[in-house]
Amino acid sequence: MKTFRRLTYPYIAWILAMIVIPMILIVMYAFTQQGNEVATLHFTFDNFMQFFTDMDFLRTLWLSLRIALMTTVLCILIGYPIAYMIAMSSSKRRNLYILLITLPMWINMLVRTYAWIGILSDNGLINSLLSAIGLQPQKLLYTDFAVVLGMVYNFIPFMILQIESSLAKMDKSLLDAANDLGADRWQRFVKVTLPLSLPGVISGITLVFLPAVSSFVIPKLLGGGGYMLIGNVIENQFITVGEWNFGSAISMIMAVIIMISMYVTKKLDKSDDALSRKRGSVR
């Protein structure tokens, strides 16, 4: 037992160095007056008040939430049919499809995002095709469309894999039973398939919404230097402006929003499990 406990020491040290100590520093900077010495421990809420009283920062937060919500909804709408098709395929084809879905993730996200710059630019692939067929080229890069497209492309595998996992574990005999009771294809999907896949959908929402709302690389590259989401604001405060106190306060605000989102999705997951058990007891 002592041997196994000793094996956890490197992991505990890594957690302390990479997570606990940075979080303590962020909290300390967030409640410290800008320009004061940290050792004075002069706590203040001015950094938080500065964020909530500045409409520019609030608009940036709203834009970040809106972009993340759009990304999540699109990932569900696009990813669910793909996940359903994969789950209903044979074992050999399912493995091939999962490989194709995960294959782009083997490449660094920065490289994949840079590739979209060449595709969406004014002289890129899409506008070249539009010009070739006689259509007017469109402004695609440095727009909301480009940012959402980049986020959907990078995060949709998480949604597909979570939903596919839930659908693959589904008891297919339930579909046969619904068919014997006279349910058509749509009724089987609404009454059986969709409820059983909701845990995967909720997990996918968590894995897509949380990184999307705090993303800063994709908006910076596909949205241009003037396109700011909350992740870009935090990066700018730490790296460019040097206001670590204000940047730490924004980071804490985002951490609270993320924890609330995780709590809501967890409650939804629990309520869905309770509903499934209730239906099972009725049967």
- Structural domain contains residue 16: no
Residue 45 falls inside a structural domain: no
In-domain check, residue 35: no
Q: How many CB atoms lie within 10 A of CB 149?
A: 19
- % residues pLDDT > 70 (the chain): 90
List the one residue out of 92, 80, 67, 228 whose CA is nearest residue 156: 80
272: pLDDT confidence band, cut at 50, 70 and 90? low
CA distance 168 to 84: 9
pLDDT given for residue 137 in this prediction: 85
Asked if residue 44 belongs to a domain, the reply is no
pLDDT in tens, 10-40: 888 888 888 889 889 898 888 887 554 545 5
What pLDDT is attached to residue 153? Answer: 94
pTM: 0.82
- The pLDDT score that the predictor gives to residue 66 is 92
The reply to whether 27 falls in a domain is no
Domain membership flag for residue 245: yes
User: Is 216 a domain residue?
Assistant: yes
Q: Band the pLDDT of 192: cuts 50, 70, 90.
A: confident
Q: What is the mean pLDDT of the chain?
A: 85
pLDDT at 226: 67
| Confidence band of 72 (pLDDT split at 50, 70, 90) | very high
> pLDDT category, 186, cuts 50, 70, 90?
confident
Domain residue limits at 265: 55-282
d(CA 156, CA 208): 7
Calpha distance 101→88 (Å, rounded): 16
Residues 6+ apart with CB under 8 A from 263: none
pLDDT of 281 reads 46
- In this model, does residue 191 exceed pLDDT 90? no
Q: Which residue has the tokens 């396109």?
A: 227
Q: Number of C-alpha atoms within 13 angstroms, CB side, residue 11?
A: 5
CATH (domain of 63): 1.10.3720.10
Query: Residue 151: is its pLDDT beyond 90?
Result: yes
- Residue carrying structure tokens 């046969």: 176
Is residue 192 in some structural domain? yes
Q: Please give the structure tokens belonging to residue 68.
A: 């993340």
Whether 190 shows a pLDDT value over 90: the answer reads no
Q: Is the pLDDT of residue 174 over 60?
A: yes
Q: What is the rounded distance in angstroms from the CA atom of residue 81 to the CA atom of residue 259?
A: 29
- Residue 197, pLDDT > 60, answer yes
Report whether pLDDT(104) > 60.
yes
Contact 163, 193 (CB under 8 A): no
Name the residue among 129, 111, 107 with its Cα closest to residue 120: 129
Q: How many domains does the chain have?
A: 1
